[in-house]
Amino acid sequence: MSRSSPMDRDTAGPFDISEIGVLTPYLDFGSIRLAPRQDMQIRADIDDTSKKVVALTVEIEGHRLQLQAFASTKSDGLWEATMSALIQGIESQGGSVEPVEGILGQELRGSVPAKSGDKTISRPTRFIGVDGPRWFLRGVISSSTISEDVYARLVSTFRSAAVSRGDIAMPPGELLPLRLPVSDKDE
């Protein structure tokens, strides 16, 4: 599969950990580093069974951006195959998404079924993705309505992220490990 990333990825992000300076303040979640902003809240999504952090969710004005980083190869990208799998999975659950041109290139936009108490509601959702050097970063933007202003700010947050692939051999598509940040006073 071909790689999918904006032409300016190396200067505008999302970044590889090797592309950011040491002076930039980032919150270190292991494979993903985020530059904190005044208007955002960050939550770690933890798997109930394994008790491991499986995603990071950033919230700005009620809009959510969930981030996950995956292992990839130097030559192949994951975004095209991921989009196909997402379309099939969402359609099988009664939702619908379609590829459209977005800020970062191809993205999926549509409506995804979500649980709200006892009932299932349809939630506007956008999937964005970028293939980086040996990693793939996926973002899922969701809200009851997605304003273009907050969408642009969430994409900006996505682009400011830095991915640390690490040197561990991992099969393509495997989730890169996340953890809660360690504060200086914890060490």
pLDDT number for residue 185: 47
pLDDT of residue 36 exceeding 80, the answer is: yes
Q: Is the pLDDT of residue 187 over 60?
A: no
Cα–Cα distances in angstroms (integers) from residue 89 to residues 6, 43, 78, 86, 184, in the given order: 26, 25, 16, 5, 42
The least confident of 1-15, 36-50, 70-84 is 1-15
What separation in angstroms does the CA of 30 have from each of 69, 82, 107, 171? 10, 23, 26, 18
SS3 content of the chain, % helix, strand, coil (to 5): 20, 40, 40
Q: What is the radius of gyration, based on Cα positions, of the chain?
A: 16
d(CA 67, CA 151) in angstroms, rounded, equals 14
Model confidence at 23: pLDDT above 70: no
Task: Give the rounded percent of residues in the chain with a pLDDT score beyond 90.
Answer: 63
- The count of residues in the chain is 187
Cα distances (angstroms) measured from residue 102 to each of 74, 99, 147, 173: 25, 9, 14, 23
Specify the pLDDT at position 105.
92
Q: What is the average pLDDT across 153-181?
A: 93
- Give which of 12, 11, 19, 7 is closest to 134, Cα–Cα: 19
Amino acid of residue 9: R
* pTM of this structure: 0.91
